[in-house]
Amino acid sequence: MERSGPDPDASDPFMSDSESRTTHFGYREVPLEEKASLVRGVFDSVAERYDLMNDLMSLGVHRLWKRHFVATAGVRTGQRVLDLAGGTGDIAALLSARVGGSGEVVLTDINHAMLRVGRRRLEDRGIVGNIRYSLANAEELPFERGAFDHVTIAFGLRNVTDKAAALKEMLRVLRPGGQAHILEFSEVRPETLRRLYDRYSFDLLPRLGKFVAGDEDSYRYLAESIRQHPPQQELAEMMRTAGFEQVHFRNLSGGIVAIHRGRRG
């Protein structure tokens, strides 16, 4: 269902990122209007190697994180789920099996190259019939209020320019009682693990990116973008401020990633 116009019930309970003149792109400060195109350039570069990129960044554990993320989301047969920044379709594939033939998964991404790769890979696996695709910006979704039972976003929120706007849009498109689920790299808690993780992220990962994918800069940006993403408690508070209820999070692998969930009242 397409969005018919601005939501008259929408509120603006806090200042969004778009009210600043600049924002971060990794550790660089860039004009606000340029970030989306810079991020698009990164993912244009890595679209065909995105799964490899995630394998490198997580040493392959991202596949286990994603399975746990979907398995614990409470998605049921016949429900309608929006998968934001769905990339190459890993989450959508798992969701498709859970909603069944009577349900629907809408896979979205702002990046055409990523969406094209995701669609091709899902179709190659025979995952068709209950998935449709939409080129969409998470900050301004083209769907009606209350259109979905669940909204998921995995490893995509940190690349959104205005996270506050994206959270409010996630809330808007959920039906009352619907849930949002966010899987994202987060703040590592154990100090020893944090030091090892930093060395891996900033020393080894860009080198692997250069050697394996011929793209050192994109991998360096991805490591930096993780450090710029709001840590667990801050993101939970942003969700509450956006209007979510029953917000909670769970750390996985010592906080390397965290799952945040919230409900629309």
**92, part of any domain:** yes
Contact 73, 79 (CB under 8 A): no
Q: What is the pLDDT of residue 41?
A: 59
32 by Cβ neighbours in 10 Å (0-12 / 13-18 / 19+) ranks as middle
Quickly count: other Cβ atoms within 10 Å of residue 42's Cβ. 21
**18, part of any domain:** no
pLDDT tens track for 119-171? 999 999 999 999 999 999 999 999 999 999 999 999 999 989 899 999 999 99
The residue among 176, 1, 177, 148 whose CA lies nearest residue 83 is 148
Domain ranges, residue 87: 36-185+232-263
Assign 19 a pLDDT band (cuts: 50, 70, 90). very low
We report the CATH number of the domain holding residue 259 as: 3.40.50.150
How wide is the angle at C-alpha 76 spanned by C-alphas 73 and 82, nearest 5°?
65
**244, part of any domain:** yes
221 by Cβ neighbours in 10 Å (0-12 / 13-18 / 19+) ranks as buried
- Domain count of the chain? 1
**13, part of any domain:** no
> What's the CA gap between 219 and 196, in Å, rounded?
17
> What's the CA gap between 43 and 37, in Å, rounded?
10
Highest mean pLDDT among 29-33, 57-61, 130-134: 130-134
**19, part of any domain:** no
pLDDT tens track for 66-103? 999 999 999 999 999 999 999 889 999 999 999 999 99
**17, part of any domain:** no
Quickly count: other Cβ atoms within 10 Å of residue 200's Cβ. 15
> What's the CA gap between 47 and 138, in Å, rounded?
18
**28, part of any domain:** no
